[in-house]
Amino acid sequence: MAWIILLIASLFEVTWVVGLKFTGGFTRLWPSVFTVAASIVSVVLLAQATKTLPIATSYVIWTGIGAAGSVILGVFWIGDEVASLPRLICIGLIVIGIAGLKLNTPDEHTKLPPGGRNVASPRVQSAGSSERGE
């Protein structure tokens, strides 16, 4: 469920980023209201998703979908972006990175608890401390 919430949050991010184009620098009331509302919904849903998903992964996926979606809409709907092959390849790489993170992130049920340790990484000890927590 957290992944679906993150996807919806990302789509709201695309919405508010594209909405900025229509606000006229926040001088047009209804586009501005819609854009601000979409940004609030986007951040609130991102926060909900991070309750069970890793924060860094969630943020990268959220911004990646936002970036890729914004460019795609800028090219094909708004018309203020150039659709060159190198640019489209770069957007494709962002999408591949997003998919890779999704495929390599454990389910929300296996996430470490707050303050938990990742057993795959070595524990860093401060000077004068021992394994027993002294």
Q: What is the DSSP string of 11-38?
A: HHHHHHHHHGGGTTTTTSHHHHHHHHHH
Can you tell me which residue has the tokens 């069970």?
52
| pLDDT at res. 30 | 97
pLDDT at residue 81 in the model: 83
Q: Tens-digit pLDDT profile for the chain (134 aa)?
A: 999 999 999 999 999 999 999 999 999 999 999 999 999 999 999 999 999 999 999 999 999 999 999 999 999 899 888 888 998 899 999 999 999 988 888 765 555 556 655 555 445 455 555 555 54
pLDDT value, residue 115: 64
- What was the pLDDT predicted at 121? 47
What is the C-alpha to C-alpha distance for residues 23 and 61, in angstroms, rounded to an integer? 26
Do the Cβ atoms of 129 and 96 come closer than 8 Å?
A: no
Contact yes or no for 52/75 (Cβ under 8 A): no
User: What is this structure's pTM?
Assistant: 0.75
